[in-house]
Structure 1
């Protein structure tokens, strides 16, 4: 797909989502409320 091709060519994908994207090797950054 489009995202996999972009990653394969050295690009990055930044996405805000509530569900996993299903991309191999994806890393997650969780943003939580600071207390």
Structure 2
């Protein structure tokens, strides 16, 4: 993931990664009708 300065702390990065994964997985589930 590319972000502008200042670089977020580790906790924020983990939260952002989890949210992106949720959005991707929800989109895949919707696409396949589950």
TM-score normalized by structure 1?
0.28
Larger radius of gyration: 2
Say which structure is richer in helix.
2
Comparing both chains, which one has the higher relative contact order based on Cα–Cα distances under 8 Å and sequence gaps of 6 or more? 1
